[in-house]
Structure 1
């Protein structure tokens, strides 16, 4: 983490209990060192015990990761950073529209059988990542389920959480896997309009599907973190925390580029000039 990046995220970190005079004792390592170690583990995909020696002891890093996961601190940190990025992009921190989709990934042998399943469509034995993102592709809600979990069933549990956190959401784009009673239920109970964006059947090969490409790009961002190429976590909430850590790293880098270099001129614009 560069000095500029650390200055960007430092004031967004949750305040430890001992600093707020709520009990506890000071931590033995700087938060910057701990965050660097966790980001390294997510980005490079190694085990906790395989952290390089210049990081804090892996047991302390893992304990920090577990504490932030169990108390929702990583979600709090990620949401604060996402809101700052949206403001930097000239958007309101509270989005009004979102895109939802899921991705099935293979699971390692360390994943317990009750938390994994077989996706008959993709022929994948593992877990399914459900993401709801804003129109910039930034994660709003994440859920990890067995790969055989239905998209509509999971969406029915995610949408109330989404509207509770982002009460201005009024429109949602989804693929044909979310058709059915979910559309009418969301409109009636949550006042959210679900638009199904279908792929055109008369075209072959790759094509960019309107609106849906935003969440597909987010999945590709996550796959750049080696730890997320396959699911190794024993617990689904650990997988969700890894996703938020990966996105937090990308958000911090995005803010740093804006603060240090400003707008980047595309190559085509330089050639045209």
Structure 2
């Protein structure tokens, strides 16, 4: 691989060691099934991941990838294959387990939090995949995520913004019940309906709706639920997520998993996440990763 000047989004050696086994196993499995072209891979997997992280972190279009990365068509091709094969949730799950254990918790959570965020979409998103969030007056898509009590991603679902929170929540509850059978408690906000509470009970999960204090004005963190709000803040350090640019909802979900992979890997090895604020200001230079 030709040496190039590193970008801030590049994987350090320590972070690459965390995710390389998953990508290496993916490539080995494809070779075993004869899914690779009949010649050795031309591009290094680390460079492919660096290019994908560059897109996720900077928000640049695929075609505008710097020329010292592999060709954008190759990078996007790997991104699409990894999304289809479930590679990104697999990496997220491994890092989440390691981080939870480092925080003195079990690898699998017993409680979680669900929340939704509506975002505007770009012109690349088909009109059929968009909708209007009547409450927030946003035309676009809705990201519904499930996190553990540390704010680490468990599941994500991207839909049209017109989809009700409870409808997306039903799908996520079913997904979490299968993928994380240890979960017995979930907190949501007042946007979720009582029938979702009843549905959660059918899969053995106690759902609690956390309401705002009557008459409260402005922002006030709600007990248990503030962790998922903080997660959305973490995700926004990745400019690709400032708006939904992905044609397919599944690719939007992959971008969210990528952002969490970046955040968790940095936290595991003690690397700070660089802020987009004024880099010359000493107190704004880095934020906890």
Query: Which protein has greater RCO, CA pairs closer than 8 Å, 6+ apart?
Result: 1
For residue 182 of structure 2, what is the aligned residue in structure 1? 168
3-state secondary structure, aligned to 1:15: helix
Q: Is the 8 A contact 2:158 2:253 kept in 1?
A: yes
Q: CA deviation at 1:48?
A: 0.7
Report SS of the residue matched to 2:63: helix
CA root-mean-square deviation:
1.6
Question: Quick one: distance in 2 between partners of 1:158 and 1:208?
Answer: 23
Which residue of 2 is the match for residue 56 of structure 1?
70
Q: SS at the partner of 2:42? A: coil
Asked whether the 8 Å contact 1:8–1:255 carries over to 2, the reply is no
Decide which of 220, 223, 228 is 2:241's aligned counterpart. Answer: 228
Match of 1:3 in 2: 13
Shift in Å at residue 14 of structure 1?
5.4
Partner of 2:156: 142
Which consecutive unaligned segments of at least 5 residues does structure 2 have? 1-10, 272-289
Write out per-residue CA displacement over residues 147-206 of structure 1, whole angstroms, 9 at most, x where no aligned residue. Answer: 01001111111111101000001000000111311112211x101000111111232222
**Residue 217 (1) aligns with residue 230 (2):** yes
Kept after mapping to 1: 8 A contact 2:22/2:87: no
Indicate yes or no: 2:166 matched with 1:156. Answer: no
Q: Distance in 1 between matches of 2:86 and 2:15?
A: 22
The one-character-per-residue Cα deviations of 1:49-100 (angstroms, maximum 9, x if unpaired) are: 1111111111110000000111111111221121111122121111000000
Structure 1 unaligned residues grouped into runs of 5+: 259-273
1:11-53 deviation per Cα after TM superposition (whole angstroms, max 9, x unaligned):
3435135466332344221111111100000000001111111
Normalised TM-score (structure 1):
0.90
In 1: Cα distance, 2:239 partner to 2:139 partner: 19
Matches within 5 A, 1:1-273: 1-13=11-23, 15-18=25-28, 21-25=32-36, 26-187=40-201, 189-257=202-270
Deviations 1:84-123 (A, max 9, x none): 1112212111100000000000111111111100111111
Aligned residues: 258
4+ aligned runs moved over 6 Å, structure 1: none
Residues in 1 aligned to 2:205 and 2:258: alpha-carbon distance in whole angstroms: 29
Matches of 1:17 and 1:254, distance apart in 2? 27
